[in-house]
Amino acid sequence: MKIVIIGPAYPLRGGLATYNERLARAFREAGDEVKLVTFSLQYPDFLFPGQTQFSTEPGPTDLTIEVSINSVNPWTWWQVGEKLRREKPDLVIFRFWLPIMGPALGSIARRIKRNRHTRIVAITDNIIPHEKRPGDRPFTRYFLSACHGFVTMSRSVLADLRRLHFTQPAQYKPHPLYDNFGPAKPKWEALQSLQLDPQFSYLLFFGFIRAYKGLDIMLEALADARLAGMPIKLIVAGEYYEDAAPYEALIRQHGLENRLVRATDFIPNEQVVDYFCAADIIVQPYKNATQSGVSQIAYHFERPMLVTDVGGLAELIPDGEVGYVVKPTARAIADALMDFYEHKREAEFTVGVQEQKKQFSWSEMVKALKEVASIA
């Protein structure tokens, strides 16, 4: 098949770009011809909360990537849509994660569909966004109504699609493993790479810091008197996508300065292995969520996890087998961490992770996308 993936890719950085590039490789491994079409401008600077949208790492040499979509310039939407209409790929896969992308992606999809050949399937990360803004509903509807079908990575997003009365073919398929960060390494080696004291145990909070991800809850849990008496530190590895002041205030309030390892810049791909392999357990204290790529990195590196029982997170983390699923409260998180360390659960949960990870293959995602396209 001739496949086009439309969404973030190099020179953009972040989890979406990493996913889309890995998906392109999975299609190529399946014998398909594939290219990525990405953004020359993804967000206007005033809408982007981080330091930069662009990678400083070398680009992939094994992928075909066209940089051509300006999210706020309708002329580029027409150009990209018209070019793909004429090329007639068999399948165009859109990555949809924010309503603000609805006008651009929906317009491109509508233009492509005029060739009456190409199937349009969207991987929908979110239908109802974590942080609501004016225009969310009409922008989302404009895009979704242009698609022939959908693949969702959580059952809650599939339910949202049906709740909004989108009846096109759709399939749930879990987020595949992020297996592109290289092999795991021994904990002692990862600690050495990060220059961390091996006398302490480490928890890892990883990824962009936004309100819905619950770092404030995690800091409150770390302040629990029971944990305070243990040689435990929290690694916060990821860039602030909002004001850091409220978190810093909590840190000062609870006297946590010496119990944190701050790495609050963007983490390059080659350093991801060190942060995950240095940690005993990966914590995701989210207040709301659909799915999380962090879980799939943790599965790849075979690390136990603690997640909160929100959205689709619990679908991927069997409670008591690979880690904990708890209420999104500081007390519940602290209780679980006490159990983890007092009963020395790391080895037990690691075995569970090794067994559970077998289901998260990229070939299954490729199969799901093709199945939806074939019946759409």
- pLDDT, tens only, 266-294: 888 899 999 999 999 999 999 987 667 89
Mean pLDDT along residues 27-32? 97
pLDDT, residue 48, reads 52
Same domain, 18 and 131: yes
Whether the per-residue pLDDT at 50 is higher than 90: the answer is no
Residue 182 included in any domain: no
**Where is average pLDDT lowest: 108-117, 291-300, 345-354?**
291-300
Residue 316 included in any domain: yes
pLDDT, residue 277, reads 98
- From the list 320, 353, 355, the residue with the least C-alpha distance to 336 is 320
Residue 181 included in any domain: no
Mean pLDDT along residues 119-144? 86
Same domain, 89 and 201: no
Contacts 24+ apart (CB under 8 A), 317-326: 318/352, 318/356, 321/349, 321/352, 321/356, 322/349, 322/352, 322/353, 322/356, 323/281, 323/282, 323/349, 323/352, 323/353
pLDDT, residue 130, reads 61
Same domain, 56 and 118: yes
The domain that holds 150 is classified in CATH as: 3.40.50.11930
Q: Sorting pLDDT into bands at 50, 70 and 90, what band is 136?
A: confident
| C-alpha torsion 230→234→235→239, nearest 10 | -170
Same domain, 72 and 36: yes
**Where is average pLDDT lowest: 167-181, 194-208, 229-243, 283-297?**
283-297
Same domain, 10 and 154: yes
Residue 300 included in any domain: yes
* 235-278 pLDDT tens trace: 999 998 888 999 999 999 999 999 999 998 888 889 999 999 99
Same domain, 167 and 208: no
Residue 37 included in any domain: yes
The domain that holds 207 is classified in CATH as: 3.40.50.2000
- From the list 197, 264, 257, 261, the residue with the least C-alpha distance to 228 is 257
- Domain of residue 287 covers 187-358
Number of residues that this document lists for the chain: 376
pLDDT, residue 149, reads 97
Same domain, 202 and 79: no
Q: Sorting pLDDT into bands at 50, 70 and 90, what band is 14?
A: confident
Cβ atoms of 136 and 116 within 8 Å: the answer is no
Whether the per-residue pLDDT at 206 is higher than 70: the answer is yes
pLDDT, residue 297, reads 95
Q: In what order do the strands lie in the sheet with 281-284?
A: 260-263, 232-237, 201-206, 281-284, 305-308, 323-326
With a pLDDT cut of 70, the percent of the chain lying above it is: 96
Cα–Cα distance between 107 and 113 in angstroms, integer?
A: 10
Same domain, 287 and 305: yes
pLDDT, residue 38, reads 97
Same domain, 224 and 346: yes
pLDDT, residue 314, reads 85
Q: List 282's β-bridge partners, or say none.
A: 204, 305
Residue 136 included in any domain: yes
- How many domains is the chain partitioned into structurally? 2
Mean pLDDT of the chain: 92
Whether the per-residue pLDDT at 49 is higher than 70: the answer is no
Whether the per-residue pLDDT at 82 is higher than 60: the answer is yes
Same domain, 118 and 199: no
**Where is average pLDDT lowest: 23-27, 205-209, 279-283?**
205-209
Mean pLDDT along residues 161-182? 92
Residue 227 included in any domain: yes
Same domain, 239 and 301: yes
pLDDT, residue 230, reads 94
Residue 320 included in any domain: yes
Q: At 70, is the secondary structure helix, strand, or coil?
A: strand
Same domain, 267 and 212: yes
